Amino acid sequence: MMPIGIYLHIPFCVKKCAYCDFVSYAGKEEIITPYFDALSQELAWYVQRHLFDDYRPLTLYVGGGTPSLTTPALVRFIQNTEKVWAFDTLQERTIEVNPGTITDSQLPQLRQAGFNRISIGVQSLHNRELEILGRIHTSQEAVSCFQAAREAGFENINLDLIFGIPTSDLASWQATLEQVICLNPEHLSLYNLTIEKETPFWVLQQQGKLVLPDEETQLAMYQTGITLLTQAGYEHYEISNFARPGCRSQHNQIYWRNEEYLGLGAGATSYIRGCRYTNTPAVEDYIVCATADHAPYPATVVTIEKLDFAATIGETIMMNLRLIEGIDLTAFSRRFGIALEEFHVNTLDKLYDLNLIERYKNHIRLTFRGVLLSNEVFQEFLL
């Protein structure tokens, strides 16, 4: 049986944040029930055709959007899904939660539904920064959400944080980090704010009205994050991710190892048997299409990309290099039947010379300089 991760996309939010270009919609609560019906239909399409009979689901990740906004419908969906697809092989079940979108009494319901990991979108512990980001919650609500999750029995909690927020500086970022370390979550994700096209932040930037910390400060923020978290006992195991020993995200490691996953829902992507399938991001279209029969793939799918040998290798290298341990050379040659050094000799030599990658035991990994300049390294493998 081959392992597979399952991703469920829930594209509903109370309000769009100013930086967000994810597939998520505000003010569409009235279609939550039909959306979950569509998810059931999409899953049934695969199950009825026995397409995953030889797969063993290892992880379930419910992301969004704001899955916590849909807790009652989600819990019902999970209970019904377990009747058609054996979920007893799942080792990790994660749900993303945003503060201010879930009641304390709903958190135990998520535990009872089998979720054993929760990821909370904290982003900052400064109210002014949260307001600028367009978040709907305060820092106190974020802390209360964390404490309520603990009380509900969640022993594996991730907190998402953003650095490089307008008006922030090194001192404010450090204060956020110190406060979250005191909460003692098992896992932390630190993301550098990026300005995505067509978002309100992008419009402000075009108008010259968005002032971000300069590049040097953003780099210092990232380095401060690494220093404080590793000093606090977290393992820096992926460019943006830190974990207590034994608490790495199993689901996200499937992506970073470029292994197979099934994505269900509007805008979700699957990577199965060498092909990447992407569903329509338009939530109403998704609901309509999920009920249509469109063999040999669900009608929700709008793009199919067959990855050839070279593309699969390139993506595997880039995803593996996101892991601090880097590319396992034995696993690589077993998977592709060729040694990495033979396939990408010129690129590797160039990156060695620039001190961006290094050989460590049986791995090739980013140097610390390479971690800081990772986008430039990845670019080399795309050329």
| Interacting residues toward ligand SF4 by CB under 6 A | 13, 16-17, 20, 22, 24, 64-66, 98, 121
User: Do 378 and 318 contact (CB within 8 A), yes or no?
Assistant: yes
CA 302, CA 270: separation in Å to the nearest integer?
12
Please identify, using beta-carbon distances, which residue of 191 and 378 lies nearer to ligand SF4. Answer: 191
Minimum distance from residue 222 beta carbon to ligand SF4 (Å)? 20
> Three-state SS for 92?
strand
Minimum distance from residue 17 beta carbon to ligand SF4 (Å)? 3
Please identify, using beta-carbon distances, which residue of 101 and 320 lies nearer to ligand SF4. Answer: 101
Please identify, using beta-carbon distances, which residue of 160 and 284 lies nearer to ligand SF4. Answer: 160
Minimum distance from residue 136 beta carbon to ligand SF4 (Å)? 8
Minimum distance from residue 16 beta carbon to ligand SF4 (Å)? 5
User: Do 6 and 250 contact (CB within 8 A), yes or no?
Assistant: no
Please identify, using beta-carbon distances, which residue of 85 and 255 lies nearer to ligand SF4. Answer: 255
> Three-state SS for 360?
strand
Please identify, using beta-carbon distances, which residue of 22 and 87 lies nearer to ligand SF4. Answer: 22
Minimum distance from residue 71 beta carbon to ligand SF4 (Å)? 15
Minimum distance from residue 199 beta carbon to ligand SF4 (Å)? 9
Please identify, using beta-carbon distances, which residue of 24 and 119 lies nearer to ligand SF4. Answer: 24
Please identify, using beta-carbon distances, which residue of 57 and 65 lies nearer to ligand SF4. Answer: 65
Please identify, using beta-carbon distances, which residue of 13 and 364 lies nearer to ligand SF4. Answer: 13
CA 39, CA 258: separation in Å to the nearest integer?
24
* 36 Cβ neighbours under 8 A, 6+ residues apart: 70, 73, 74, 76, 77
> Sheet harboring 357-360: ordered strands across?
327-328, 363-366, 357-360
Minimum distance from residue 158 beta carbon to ligand SF4 (Å)? 14
User: In whole angstroms, how far apart are CA 152 and each of 17, 112, 192, 304?
Assistant: 28, 10, 30, 41
Report which of 107, 9, 93 is spatially closest to residue 57, judged by C-alpha positions: 93
CA 256, CA 266: separation in Å to the nearest integer?
22
> Sheet harboring 261-264: ordered strands across?
235-238, 241-243, 187-192, 157-163, 117-123, 92-97, 55-64, 2-10, 261-264, 269-272, 275-279, 301-306
CA 309, CA 91: separation in Å to the nearest integer?
31
CA 18, CA 113: separation in Å to the nearest integer?
32
User: In whole angstroms, how far apart are CA 207 and each of 200, 202, 203, 204?
Assistant: 11, 9, 6, 5
CA 237, CA 323: separation in Å to the nearest integer?
6
Minimum distance from residue 291 beta carbon to ligand SF4 (Å)? 26
Minimum distance from residue 97 beta carbon to ligand SF4 (Å)? 10
Please identify, using beta-carbon distances, which residue of 26 and 311 lies nearer to ligand SF4. Answer: 26
Q: Evaluate the CA torsion angle 22, 220, 144, 79 in order and state its sign.
A: positive
